[in-house]
Amino acid sequence: MTEAYIVDAVRTPIGKKNGGLSGVHPADLGAHVIKAIVNRTGIDPAGVDDVVFGCVDAIGGQAGNIARTAWLAAGYPEEVPGVTVDRQCGSSQQAVHFGAQAILSGTADLILAGGVQNMSQIPIASAMMVGQQYGFDTPFGGSTGWVERYGDQEVSQFRGAELIADKWDISREELERWALQSHERARTAIAEGRFDREIVPFGEVTTDEGPRETSLEKMASLKTLTEGGRLTAAVASQISDGASTVLLASAEAVERYGLTPRARIHHLSARGADPIFMLSAPIPATRYALEKTGLSIDDIDLVEINEAFAPVVLAWIKEIGADPAKVNVNGGAIALGHPLGATGTKLMATLLNELERTGGRYGLQTICEGGGTANATIIERL
């Protein structure tokens, strides 16, 4: 039977906005993790079939197919191609899916799947801001079909998160308790060295810059993002810079290069939901993944669900019936940051290492994405 194996996974530390990685060109961030995983695994770079990288707002230093640019900036063979994927926040998770699908189809043996984002240099929604000079106020306005279906209502992650908090009746206090826990878990993970195997220091930046000491009292003092709303900046993911990558291999490549797989791809899929709610799709994506595999949520040992906003995770827990003690056990994007295009393979690196640390078998990863979609990946530790 054809398998797609995860051989290794690495990431940079995640830099905070205007922090230690803010001045690094995105191609150099990507090249850094590419070189690290090639060196760690000992593969022949010329044997790589493709480099698939996620990136959002592909303008400026992130334009021109950053996957290809990062590979060449790393100094590797020109004959190896690269392609850049944009599935919004799940871009590098989708890169893993495309890479694994190529291996499972028999058309590739060795794929580097990853992502990169420097949000300090190129702020979120920069591509849309650039588009305004061409007469586009939003990606949707002016589309006859969109307006006929959804009207001219606001479409944003902030509104979606508020709608989720309201629909699932999640209080501001619940949101802030989850956010506080995210910081506490992240600080504990750093103190215990749980990220050491996955992080490749970049210069003087050796650890994640986002986690901080906070309190419910401090969070309660913040203004809500909208009048009468429940969300504050404290329960949202952080603006971040970073890169990450995963080496995927077929059984043939494993044998050829003498590799030792750490996990296999057990399942991969993506599903969609209401684009106005935008961030609720991890719920149907998880249900679909569990149905296709015949697993129950109780069979899953660890979950990484991206903390775009706290209500995304809490609504998912309510609907899926997951044990919160298994979810984001080392903190999430509220504490550790969310470098858009790099987050998918960053989470996969953490999921892989934590499965090994705890002896778990199955890990589930899911990410909400702009447009109301979500990826779901289940990996099995070997």
As annotated, the active-site residues are: 89, 338, 368
Taking Cα atoms as reference points, which of 63, 53, 55 lies closest to residue 89?
A: 55
DSSP 82: E
Per the CB < 8 A criterion, the answer to whether 110 and 248 are in contact is yes
Per the CB < 8 A criterion, the answer to whether 45 and 77 are in contact is yes
Residue 108: exposure state from Cβ atoms within 10 A (0-12, 13-18, ≥19): buried
Residue 4's identity, in one-letter code, is: A
Residue 100's identity, in one-letter code, is: A
Per the CB < 8 A criterion, the answer to whether 112 and 245 are in contact is yes
Per the CB < 8 A criterion, the answer to whether 302 and 355 are in contact is yes
Query: What does 193-252 look like in DSSP terms, one character per residue?
Result: TTTTTTB--BTTB-S-S------HHHHHTSPPSSTT-S--GGGBPPPEEEEEEEEEE-HH
Structure tokens at 195: 């990220």
DSSP 175: H
- Residue 106 and residue 84: Cα distance in Å, rounded? 21
For 350, what's the count of Cα atoms within 13 Å in the CB-facing half-sphere?
Answer: 30
Question: What are the phi and psi torsion angles at 193 (to 5°)?
Answer: 75, 25
| Helix, strand or coil, per DSSP, at residue 145 | helix
Residue indicated by tokens 């949202």: 236
